[in-house]
Structure 1
Amino acid sequence: MSTTPTMARKERERAAREELILEQARRMLAESGYLDLNLDELARRVEYSKGTLYQHFSSKEDLVMAIAVRGLQARAGLFERALGFRGANTRECVQAISVAAGQFCHAFPDYFEVETLVKLSSFALRASELRRNQLGLAVGRGFRCVQGIVQAALHLGDLPAHAHLAPERIAFALASVSVGSEIMGRLPELRLLAGIDNLAAVVRENQSLLLDGCGWKPLRSEYDMAAVDRRIRAEVFPEASWLDV
């Protein structure tokens, strides 16, 4: 069936309405947190009925998961930008992904918090199948960027083959170290105990420790990481003002 001008206009209006709802809900989450996210108040702020909200989102959890999808898509977009960096080797290429991950946390701190929230099993149970599928696609989009660099490193010999670790497992380990360090580093008490005053730098140090442990050449001690950071910022992420270069 062909799309008529009227249908196309209605689709645009629906998309614009959904974007308005998502943006206002994101702001409310940042202001007050999940427990105080009230759909009646959200409806008042966007000037639509509560019933209209449910035309777009099946539940409060579905709405929050939709916000998480936006964040994951933003991160994947940054990862895809990082793939454009002309690294001298795959270790430099994965460093560009590291900068992309840091830029995401710096530019979208509230999205990172929402992403952490939707990892709870209750969200998956109460969100729609459509939203769960969107979440999976967004996660996969970013993961494949990292996995592709791992596969290239194995092919070129920058990364020695590990009989017990497939490329996707190495990519998963890198993601786990990155996200886990970010989550734990947001606890003020733990930062104090660990003597952390620059979380972004520590997250990247942890990534380097993992890469060195896997034998990914060149090792951290064998090249100028700061010089590569300067090139990454100049070529790909000029907005990364947090990067200490």
Structure 2
Amino acid sequence: MSRQQKREQRESEIIQGTLQLLQEKSFLDLKMSEVAQVAECSMGAIYSHFSSKEDLLLGCALDIMRNQVIVLHKALEVPSEPLEQLLLATFCCIIWDEQQPANYALNQLAMNPCVWQRASSHRNNAMNQEIEKIDFLVQNIATKVLEHDSPAHASDDNTKSLYLGLISISHGYFMIRSSGYGEFTTIQNGSGVAEAQNLYLLSVKSYLAGWGLAETNSLDDLHSLYRSAESLVLAQISQTS
């Protein structure tokens, strides 16, 4: 193993150790000495890889996002119509967060300017590249959707509107459900979760109808795509755990 490979392996070990700790405590409570202990390295070794605690947090968020990009690639490799691929990719994003609430909270914190402004520039650049990859993948398939199902609307502005609206509905649903406010305070058991999922998919169907794209996708079709997305996400999580 080369020196560079050893360095990359050590950095990965530090990140995985940190992610393990963040399953049990918040980032604010995390001590770098705890990271050194779980990663079985010195404090000096940690600071040779990460310039600050915030830099380490962004490194963890970057690791999570890279795995999410892998899931999106797998979703877009599934042979199906463009709209089904777009929905599968969108569902993968929301299920990815649902299955890993601690990682979702970590990513949200990593996006806070007071965090990423204290991270290293190369880590910031790497994070921007991963976000651009996700945007490119989703926008590209959204373009194919409009070209296939609604050619008259296949412009760059409409493509952005289509996929940003779909993502906004999905993240809004997840954030409201996670908050426990309003209607979602009653979701405490299996049937409640199923009811929430049904409400989300109905919202997606209504949104697509506004674009003239819902005629061929029944609610049962959306539930089937959601289950397929769940399988893809769980398989990736299993590989990385």
* TM-score normalised by L of structure 2: 0.81
| Partner residue in 2 for 1:151 | 143
In the alignment, residue 174 of structure 1 is paired with which amino acid? L
| 1:11-50 matches, cutoff 5 A | 11-50=4-43
Unaligned 5+ runs, structure 1:
1-7, 241-245
Matched, 1:183 2:153: no
Matched, 1:111 2:103: yes
Cα distance change on mapping 1:202 and 1:35 into 2, 3 Å: farther
| Partner residue in 1 for 2:206 | 209
| Partner residue in 2 for 1:86 | 79
Cα distance change on mapping 1:200 and 1:77 into 2, 3 Å: farther
SS at match of 1:30: coil
**Alignment partners' CA distance in 2, 1:222 and 1:158:** 21
The answer to which structure has the higher helix fraction is: 2
Alpha-carbon deviation of 1:101?
A: 2.0
Cα distance change on mapping 1:42 and 1:237 into 2, 3 Å: closer
SS at match of 2:77: coil
| Partner residue in 2 for 1:237 | 232
In the alignment, residue 105 of structure 1 is paired with which amino acid? D
Alpha-carbon deviation of 1:50?
A: 1.4
CA RMSD, 1 decimal: 2.9
Unaligned 5+ runs, structure 2:
236-241
**Of 193-202 and 112-121, the range deviating more from structure 2:** 193-202
* TM-score normalised by L of structure 1: 0.80
| Partner residue in 2 for 1:75 | 68
Alpha-carbon deviation of 1:201?
A: 4.6
8 Å contact from structure 1 (residues 85, 93) kept in 2: yes
SS at match of 1:105: helix
Cα distance change on mapping 1:205 and 1:109 into 2, 3 Å: farther
Cα distance change on mapping 1:26 and 1:172 into 2, 3 Å: same
Alpha-carbon deviation of 1:129?
A: 0.9
**Alignment partners' CA distance in 2, 1:214 and 1:206:** 13
**Alignment partners' CA distance in 2, 1:115 and 1:11:** 27
